[in-house]
Structure 1
Amino acid sequence: MLNRRQCLFGLSVCLLAGRSGLSSAQAPTQPQTEIGIGEYRLGPGDRVRVQVFNEADLSGDYDIDGTGQISLPLIGQMTAGGQRVSDLEATILKALSNGYLKNPRVTVVVLTYRPFYIYGEVRLPGGYAYVNGMRMVNAVVLAGGYTPRARQGRLLITRLIDGKKTELEGNDDTPVLPGDIIRVPERFF
């Protein structure tokens, strides 16, 4: 007869085997239109830190202005809006290598992201600071929660994708990105 420890061990082995047997068709998938923060493109309202190794005078914190520009020492005005962080690093590196420094090492870090906005059937509509890893449910909570008339679980998101404003439908688990405009619709009953 099996003792209690052997039964628990056998049960855990069965459970693990069952979980690892999920096919990719059964695994939850994300919509094709969903863009993660790794794909994030800089824009007006973002604040970045540019660090040039061993060059304190060339390093600093910069706000991306309304036209998508930053002004760097030696280089001057440079377009940052619409670029990924890695693209901006490469652009600055190329500009500094062009007669200013030999083998510069450049790092760009986003210090603060532009805010997201939420309106409609929430208690406190407005603009809120973006935090990495945010989901729509977090945005609704920041906005004071749903009103009694809200159509919960369905959110409309206006997001800039490839330079075009695109309206997407989301739920509480959809990721929020900086600059998103979220509308919580009213229910009809």
Structure 2
Amino acid sequence: MRILMFCLLFFLGHATGDDYKLGAGDQIQIMVYGEADLTTQVKVNKSGVISFPFLSDIVVTGISSKNLANKITNGLRGDYLIDPQVMVSIVQYRPFFIHGQVKRPGGYPFQEDLTLDKAIAIAGGLAARASKSSWNITRLIAGKKMVLEGNVASVILPDDIIEIEQSFF
């Protein structure tokens, strides 16, 4: 079972970059080369939908920025532009959350290559009574909340909830 959890954490930990799936709370910039009027910055709302000129509302939850760029390119091609060049970049990722025995619990902006030890450092470090090993990560996987055991090298993703337990010694 632990091997399965490790493999799952390893696989999900490499979901940044081109594999990163957009979700509510992400702030993205859409640029259409040579079309300043079509350049926009937008935050993905709770419904996972964005509005873009000349196109109907676009559902972006669960797709990569590259797939979104392709969707916009295909939507603009023909009726509006001959050969649109679209780039989508993530301006700000949705946050991760850390609570329990850290000095400054709360929500923090996600950063690429974020591991559990870095997340703890962002939250001010471990509190005096913090466990040195009882760390859990709650993550939404395939629509279900799962609680995973964490260690210093565990990869943290946006929307993760980290719980640092109290030590009994």
SS at match of 1:139: helix
Instruction: Give me the whole-angstrom Cα distance separating, in 2, the residues matched to 1:83 and 1:132.
Output: 17
* The structure with more radius of gyration: 1
Which letter does structure 2 place at the counterpart of 1:161? I
Instruction: Give me the whole-angstrom Cα distance separating, in 1, the residues matched to 2:168 and 2:142.
Output: 34
RMSD over aligned Cα atoms = 1.7
Q: Shift of residue 162 of structure 1? A: 2.8
SS at match of 1:107: strand
SS at match of 1:137: helix
Q: Shift of residue 173 of structure 1? A: 1.3
Instruction: Give me the whole-angstrom Cα distance separating, in 2, the residues matched to 1:88 and 1:112.
Output: 16
Instruction: Give me the whole-angstrom Cα distance separating, in 1, the residues matched to 2:32 and 2:143.
Output: 30
TM-score w.r.t. the length of structure 1 is: 0.78
Aligned residues of 1:154 and 1:172 also touching (Cα < 8 A)? no
Which letter does structure 1 place at the counterpart of 2:8? T
Structure 2 gaps of 5+ residues are none
TM-score w.r.t. the length of structure 2 is: 0.86
Alignment of 1:81 with 2:56, yes or no, is no
**Structure ranking higher in strand proportion:** 2
User: Identity of paired residues, percent?
Assistant: 38
Which letter does structure 2 place at the counterpart of 1:32? C
Alignment of 1:165 with 2:145, yes or no, is yes
Superposition misfits of 4+ residues, deviation over 6 angstroms = none
1:18-37 residue pairs with structure 2 within 5 A?
31-34=6-9, 35=12, 36=14, 37=16
Structure 1 gaps of 5+ residues are 1-29
Residue correspondences, number: 160
Q: Which has the higher contact order (CA 8 A, sep 6+)?
A: 2
Match of 2:160 in 1: 180
